[in-house]
Amino acid sequence: MQKPYTQLTTRNGQSTSRLTFGTMQFGGNADASESYAMYEAVRHAGITHFDTAMGYTDGRSEKLIGEFIKHERDNIFLATKVGYVGGASRKNIITQFEICKRQLQEDAVDLLYMHRFDEDVALEETFETLTELQSSGAIRYIGVSNYAAWQVMKAQGVAKSLGTKIDVIQPMYSLVKRQAEVEIIPMAQDQDIRLIPYSPLGAGLLTGKYSKSSGIGRLSEDARYKARYDQPWMHKTANDLAEIAADMGIASATLAVAWAAAHPAQPSPIISARSALQLKPSLAAVDFEMTQELYEQITALSKSPAPATDRLEEG
């Protein structure tokens, strides 16, 4: 039997939306006007969960989303992250969280993530600090991003010894990045940790735009993303998904996001874009009903990762 997952709620007690909106582009590829247009679009679609980080676009992301939510703060679930640079020490967490609050113009956030694992700082120091922030009301939920399953379990043991727990994990997950299925997702289900996966479009690969000679985006502009996704089988998967989408008369992005959201663990994928126009296909996944037959058809387009034991006959 599948265990329940942590139910995230806004300040006024409403459950968070099926999808999450990531503001990584705010103040960067999306100027203030375009950022607000996207905010209005996602709010109109019913999205209440917003994700940012201290360092996104040198702080402009937090400044913009903080401004946009002011008039309806209690209706919004606000998540941010610290520790991507500088580590997970008490000093760095407190220093960076103070910057977050200043940029957001908020005294508290709903969810604070450790942006990545820090092997050089004792987990006791990290989670004692997070527990203090939670006890003081500065944060409501504790999250981790880019942690391996074994790292989460070590941290969860420490958190529980302090009288709290990890509530949320943010892993990479898409049709072409399914490693999370091996240990992270089962671990999250077992530990009652909510899944908020990022990059359901595979940095734009699953939109189908890179099958065209004019495809411009992170895969063509950023060497890190090119290395992460530039494998022949991934491009074939993207092309095959595009064919299914074309036959259905919808956008590939809609199917890619809806597929990620349809996992039995009920994740809430993070969607994002550079403009309201670019966002539209991903946002359409809010109302898309994924049948089991279609889910299985799409799943079969990509490589299933080997089980954790590597006993392929049991996968």
Q: Give which of 144, 229, 150 is closest to 184, Cα–Cα.
A: 150
Distances (CA, A) of 295 to 182, 256, 259, 298: 18, 10, 6, 5
- Written as six digits, the tokens of 308 are 């954790």
- Written as six digits, the tokens of 76 are 């919004």
Distances (CA, A) of 186 to 20, 84, 153, 199: 21, 25, 12, 19
> Which residues pair with residue 145 across a beta bridge?
170
Out of 5, 39, 56, 229, which one is annotated catalytic?
56
Q: Give which of 61, 68, 63, 60 is closest to 37, Cα–Cα.
A: 68
Distances (CA, A) of 239 to 35, 199, 220, 292: 30, 18, 17, 21
> Which residues pair with residue 114 across a beta bridge?
82, 144
The number of beta carbons lying within 10 Å of the beta carbon of residue 67 is: 15
| Max CA distance (Å), the chain | 55
Can 56 be counted among the known catalytic residues? yes
Q: Known catalytic residues?
A: 56
